[in-house]
Amino acid sequence: MYRFLIVVEKANGNYSAYSPDLPGCVATGETREETEQNMYQAIEMHLHGLVEDHQPIPESHASAEYVVIK
């Protein structure tokens, strides 16, 4: 089992997502939920491609935190 951080951003009329630990692995969708589903599928495809190319699966190093400014 693998766990990767994804970042979902609101764009012009849709959403986009990427994973800092998987450069080039991106997805879009009309809703946040659709984008998350598409990103899940994109990550699966990306990892299968790495395995087929005999490349290592990268370890997840990214993390996220909200900062509160008063």
65: buried, middle or exposed (CB in 10 Å: 19+, 13-18, 0-12)?
A: exposed
- pLDDT band for position 67 (cuts 50, 70, 90): very high
The whole-angstrom distance between residue 43's C-alpha and the CA centroid of its chain comes to: 7
pLDDT digits (tens, 9 = 90+) for 2-55: 999 999 999 899 999 999 999 999 999 999 999 999 999 999 999 999 999 999
Q: What is the pLDDT of residue 38?
A: 98
- pLDDT band for position 68 (cuts 50, 70, 90): very high
Domain boundaries, the chain: 7-52
pTM of the model: 0.89
Q: What is the pLDDT of residue 2?
A: 93
Fold exhibited by the domain 7-52: Double Stranded RNA Binding Domain (3.30.160)
